[in-house]
Amino acid sequence: QVQLVESGGGLVQAGGSLRLSCEVSGRTASAYWVGWFRRTPGKEREFISSIKLNSGITNYSDAVKDRFTISREKVKNTVYLQMNRVEPEDTATYYCAGRLAGNPRYDFWGQGTQVTVSP
């Protein structure tokens, strides 16, 4: 079992910055990916970014690749999502999730953290 706990959400003005954290615990293999997703009411869940814990390889969606940065801190078993130049359209509940490399499905999910961007 793997547990993921998000934190860092809140209210931020458009153009500002926010950093989300995802603390990962439990049995994670070396080849393990952690991803960030977001969901707004009435819309499907959207992939934001992912990082492979051992190598640091990253992926981003086109919507955020020039504004958000994903990183990990191995000592703390924590993955971060640095959100810069946020826009009202970034308002959503943000989730982190984990999967083994080679598995297309994210098996474990956090509870989510709310991000609200005011105009």
Pairing of strands 2-7, 10-13: unpaired
Mean pLDDT by runs of 10 across the 119 residues of the chain is: 94 98 84 93 95 94 96 93 97 96 91 97
Quick one: which H or E segment has residue 24? strand 18-26
- Neighbouring residues of 34: CB distance < 8 A, sequence distance ≥ 6: 4, 22, 24, 50, 51, 53, 72, 79, 96, 97, 98
Rounded Cα distance, 47 and 37, in Å = 5
